[in-house]
């Protein structure tokens, strides 16, 4: 329809269609549908059932790319088989690199912290497309499994810049970086370095960094200490669910996945098939996610009116059965109808949202690029090959393995410098108390005075492969004179 903003709509699986209907009912009552046209797309379990391992049809992909916005309910992923999580696939496929979630104490929702009078009100910004969520895993020996963790400089810059820009627009004056750079010095170390680098463009915002395990403890002890936390993908996923527990559960945790071109607004809780079609589900998470979507397209007045109505409704004791609070629980649609009937009202026990004078709906659909965008940050860095790491399947003792490898590399530009097992050095020094498995990493470095490209490392790989089962091969490099590889523990 002319003049309306077109948005792709995926109701989801299990309770998804019910809570989607509830949210659309509230949007209709608030006049939102005068400005938005939802186009339903097929994805989720029904598509997986056809054998489509992406979990979404070509038509769904086309509509999402045309509209640039997807509003979706919870979706299930088949257990086992080839289908990966459709939620992760959507974020990665469409470049929705930033996951934004708001965790706040809600009136009428009883938690440990609400009873103690400790206010919870902070945002988590989670990187969405890198880290272990590449899903790159291999079984490399009968006993060993490997997952690759991918962290890139452009990816770190994207998410850190998003966090600071969002904090600035929301009036937040402190951003915390959660990390494990004390252990993962190159991956999390890069994330922390880029956080500090990007922060220089936002001098008005205070920064701090906290090791992830201490952060989790602090969130339980003093959640009111934090305003916005930015994290890598896996750590952000874990912290997001922890944070949801502070405010009553995932049923109260909105989620927005923001990209440069396409954004996804979703409920992140499960599909709850045990209560599907029973009018028991809580639509609050999907509704709050929808309010972020409305603000994303300039409909701030409508979003504020609906949010104030939700807060007033909860405050008055109207809630679904999953909420611990005053009053008898109501069904999904009765809850939605209560919110719709309370439009224009605001909470009295807490500050409501300021209501702007007008909506200013605006959205420019993306223009489909002809090629994938290449993101490069460190274009001028000089890299020099200085050796290679080979991962070998072997049951030889470290001493016997070293003797064989030293004979193999005698006539090459390389020398064997260290053998590690599960990341711990076992040769040339080590402890007999270090338990080992049947995969070892052997590091060859250039002999003094040697200068090579990558070719000789491949030739060395071939020589070693004649005698051993090689499970992985990684050339190691210096970058502007700085080591681009980690040391083994104990080295």
**Residue 83: what pLDDT?**
61
pLDDT digits (tens, 9 = 90+) for 354-392: 999 999 999 999 999 999 999 999 888 999 999 999 999
Domain count, the chain: 3
- The mean per-residue pLDDT over the stretch 459-479 comes to 96
Taking CA atoms, 132 is separated from 24, 129, 171, 349, in Å, by 35, 9, 32, 43
Q: Tell me, yes or no, whether 82 and 149 share the same domain.
A: no
Give percent of the chain above pLDDT 90.
88
Determine phi and psi for 328, rounding to 5 degrees.
-80, 140
Q: Tell me, yes or no, whether 357 and 370 share the same domain.
A: yes
**Residue 78: what pLDDT?**
72
Q: Tell me, yes or no, whether 235 and 310 share the same domain.
A: no
Distance CA 476, CA 462 (A): 17
DSSP-derived 3-state class of residue 281? coil
Which H or E run includes 487? none
- Domain hosting residue 305, numbered range: 1-96+253-378
Q: Tell me, yes or no, whether 298 and 338 share the same domain.
A: yes
- The mean per-residue pLDDT over the stretch 33-44 comes to 96
Q: Tell me, yes or no, whether 409 and 468 share the same domain.
A: yes
Which H or E run includes 392? strand 383-393
**Residue 82: what pLDDT?**
56
Q: Tell me, yes or no, whether 82 and 179 share the same domain.
A: no
Contact yes or no for 321/383 (Cβ under 8 A): no
Given 186, 212, 246, the domain boundary residue is 246
Is pLDDT at 186 greater than 90 in this prediction? Answer: yes
DSSP-derived 3-state class of residue 220? helix
Q: Tell me, yes or no, whether 290 and 349 share the same domain.
A: yes
- The mean per-residue pLDDT over the stretch 9-31 comes to 97
**Residue 1: what pLDDT?**
43
Question: Peptide bond before 98: cis, by omega within 30 degrees of 0?
Answer: no
Given 378, 411, 440, the domain boundary residue is 378
Asked, for residue 78, whether it belongs to a domain, the answer is yes
Q: Tell me, yes or no, whether 198 and 311 share the same domain.
A: no
Taking CA atoms, 419 is separated from 78, 176, 183, 491, in Å, by 40, 38, 19, 10
pLDDT band at 268 (very low <50, low <70, confident <90, very high): confident
pLDDT digits (tens, 9 = 90+) for 223-263: 999 999 999 999 999 999 999 999 999 999 999 999 999 99
Q: Tell me, yes or no, whether 130 and 239 share the same domain.
A: yes
Distance CA 112, CA 6 (A): 41
pLDDT digits (tens, 9 = 90+) for 433-459: 999 999 999 999 999 877 788 899 999
Average pLDDT value for the chain: 94
Angle between the N-to-C axes of helices 16-29 and 284-296, in degrees from 0 to 180, rounded to the nearest 10: 50
pLDDT digits (tens, 9 = 90+) for 84-128: 788 888 999 999 999 999 999 999 898 999 999 999 999 999 999
Given 246, 278, 303, the domain boundary residue is 246
Contact yes or no for 290/302 (Cβ under 8 A): no
**Residue 79: what pLDDT?**
66
Is pLDDT at 320 greater than 70 in this prediction? Answer: yes
**Residue 422: what pLDDT?**
96
Asked, for residue 102, whether it belongs to a domain, the answer is no
Contact yes or no for 258/266 (Cβ under 8 A): no
- By C-alpha distance, which of 261, 222, 285 is closest to 67? 261
**Residue 324: what pLDDT?**
75
Distance CA 314, CA 273 (A): 25
Contact yes or no for 105/89 (Cβ under 8 A): no
Taking CA atoms, 208 is separated from 94, 119, 231, 280, in Å, by 31, 21, 12, 42
Q: Tell me, yes or no, whether 80 and 188 share the same domain.
A: no
**How far from each other are the two terminal CA atoms of the chain, in whole angstroms?**
66
pLDDT band at 17 (very low <50, low <70, confident <90, very high): very high
Which H or E run includes 338? helix 332-341
Asked, for residue 29, whether it belongs to a domain, the answer is yes
Q: Tell me, yes or no, whether 338 and 410 share the same domain.
A: no
Tokens of 77: 């992923």
Other CB atoms within 10 Å distance of the CB of residue 127? 28
Other CB atoms within 10 Å distance of the CB of residue 296? 17
**Residue 2: what pLDDT?**
53
């Amino acid at each position: 329809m002319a003049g309306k903003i077109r948005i792709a709509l995926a109701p989801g699986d299990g309770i998804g269609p019910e809570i989607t209907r509830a949210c659309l009912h509230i949007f209709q009552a608030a006049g939102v549908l005068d400005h938005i046209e939802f186009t339903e797309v097929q994805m989720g379990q029904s598509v997986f059932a056809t054998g489509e391992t992406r979990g979404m049809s070509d038509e769904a992909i086309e509509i999402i790319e045309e509209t640039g916005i997807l509003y979706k309910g919870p979706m299930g992923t088949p257990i086992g088989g080839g289908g990966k999580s459709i939620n992760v696939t959507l974020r990665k496929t469409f470049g929705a690199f930033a996951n934004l979630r708001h965790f706040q104490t809600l009136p009428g929702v009883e938690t440990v912290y609400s009873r103690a009078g400790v206010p919870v009100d902070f945002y988590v910004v989670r990187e969405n497309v890198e880290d272990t969520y590449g899903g790159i895993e291999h079984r490399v020996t009968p006993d060993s499994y490997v997952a690759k963790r991918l962290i890139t400089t452009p990816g770190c810059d994207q998410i850190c810049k998003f966090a600071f820009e969002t904090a600035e627009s929301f009036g937040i004056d402190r951003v915390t970086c959660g990390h494990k750079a004390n252990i993962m010095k190159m991956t999390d170390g890069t994330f922390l370095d880029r956080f500090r680098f990007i922060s220089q463009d936002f001098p008005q915002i205070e920064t701090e960094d906290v090791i992830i395990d201490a952060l989790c403890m602090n969130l339980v002890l003093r959640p009111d200490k934090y305003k916005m936390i930015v994290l890598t993908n896996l750590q952000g996923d874990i912290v997001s669910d922890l944070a949801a527990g502070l405010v009553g559960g995932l049923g109260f945790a909105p989620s927005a996945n923001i990209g440069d071109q396409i954004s996804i607004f979703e409920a992140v809780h499960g599909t709850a098939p045990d209560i599907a079609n029973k009018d028991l589900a809580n639509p609050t998470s999907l509704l709050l996610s929808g309010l972020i979507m409305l603000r994303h397209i300039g409909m701030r007045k409508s979003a504020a009116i609906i949010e104030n109505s939700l807060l007033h409704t909860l405050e008055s004791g109207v809630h679904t059965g999953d909420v611990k609070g005053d009053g008898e629980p109501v069904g999904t649609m009765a809850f939605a109808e209560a919110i719709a009937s309370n439009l224009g009202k605001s909470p009295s026990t807490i500050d409501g949202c300021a209501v702007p004078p007008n909506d200013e709906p605006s959205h420019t659909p993306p223009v489909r690029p002809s090629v994938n965008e290449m993101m490069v940050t460190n274009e001028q860095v000089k890299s020099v090959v200085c050796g290679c790491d080979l991962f070998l399947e072997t049951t030889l003792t470290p001493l016997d393995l070293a003797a064989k490898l030293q004979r193999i590399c005698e006539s090459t530009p390389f020398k064997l410098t260290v053998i590690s097992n599960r990341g711990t050095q076992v040769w040339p020094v080590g402890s007999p108390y270090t338990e080992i498995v049947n995969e070892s990493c052997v590091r060859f470095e250039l002999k003094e005075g040697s200068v090579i490209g990558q070719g000789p490392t491949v030739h060395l790989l071939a020589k070693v492969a004649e005698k051993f089962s090689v499970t992985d091969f990684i050339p190691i490099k210096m970058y502007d004179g700085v080591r681009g590889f980690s040391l083994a523990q104990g080295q």
